[in-house]
Structure 1
Amino acid sequence: MPHQHHVAGYENFLQKMKEFQGNQEVYVYYGGSKDANGLSWCDDCVKAWPNIKSAVEKYLNPNAHFVYVEVGDRPTWKDMNCPFRLDKNTRLLQLPTLAKWLGPERLEGEQCEKFELLELLFGDE
């Protein structure tokens, strides 16, 4: 089972990412913040999460790190100055987004629901 982490908000995200150095394999999932019932306000995130969770458990290298990031509530995300949109390392355009940290590999929106694409993303390189 890969190392799993959960952070909420941009500042907490920045702090967490400082922990990863060198050639560590790190994947980051960006989704809308969750409500009191544990569900994201982002419907696409809710649809994608079961397949992502399953793919992480099945295909991700046990030595890898998986970071679940809550980007904020709907108004925070919709703000074009949302720091997750502007950060050169995240460049978020839509939710959900699943990306290899500091790499070009990424899935966005409905792609995150497709188990075969998740397998490709997490599979052996």
Structure 2
Amino acid sequence: MITKHYLQGYEEFSKFFSGEFDSNDQIVFVYFTGSKLPSGESWCPDCVKAWPVVEKELEKFPENCHFIVVEVGDRPTWKDPNCPFRKDPRTKLMVIPTLKRWNTHQKLEGDQCEKSDLLELIFGSEE
């Protein structure tokens, strides 16, 4: 079973990964995206394009995994060069959307998150 988590902003992200989260040695994927507007869609057009593809590939997701969606904030927060998601050594985000296989070097960035074949690779790899 896939366990999904939704986090908003750096404070929630940091608190979650600094103690309250236990993966039970399961695979963890973290998807970083722009925060949602009142319409329910992200302010980030690339995130809006990528999400349906990611969501479809989640159906093929490995069993016993965690999928964590992290909203990085509104556009001004993300565009700030001092955005904590850019500075944090655990994330070092340069673009959104970004999908990371946590505690590995595997990640997809930007329009790579729109490519089913790349998503299949990262979701299915054994690293």
Q: Is the 8 A contact 2:86 2:94 kept in 1?
A: yes
TM-score normalised by the chain length of structure 2? 0.93
Give unmatched runs, 5+ long, in structure 2: none
State which drifts further: 11-20 or 26-35.
Answer: 11-20
Residues paired across the two proteins, number: 124
- Give the deviation of 1:15 after TM superposition: 1.9
| CA deviation vs aligned residue, 1:50-94 (integer Å, no higher than 9, x gap) | 010111122x21200000000000000000100000000001000
Q: CA RMSD in A?
A: 1.2
Alignment match, 2:39: 37
What is the letter of the counterpart of residue 3 of structure 1? T
SS for the counterpart of 1:99 is strand
Counterpart for residue 47 of structure 1: 49
- In structure 1, runs of 5+ residues without a counterpart are none
Report what 1:28 is aligned to.
Answer: 30
Work out the percentage of aligned pairs sharing the same amino acid.
53
Flag as ranges the 4+ runs of structure 1 deviating above 4 A.
none
Q: Aligned runs of 1:1-125 on 2, under 5 Å?
A: 1-17=1-17, 18=19, 19-21=21-23, 23-58=25-60, 60-125=61-126
Q: Deviations over 1:15-45 (max 9, x none)?
A: 2223135632110000000011110000000
Match for 2:7: what amino acid?
A: V
The answer as to whether partners of 1:3 and 1:62 remain within 8 angstroms in 2 is: no
What's the TM-score, normalizing by structure 1?
A: 0.94
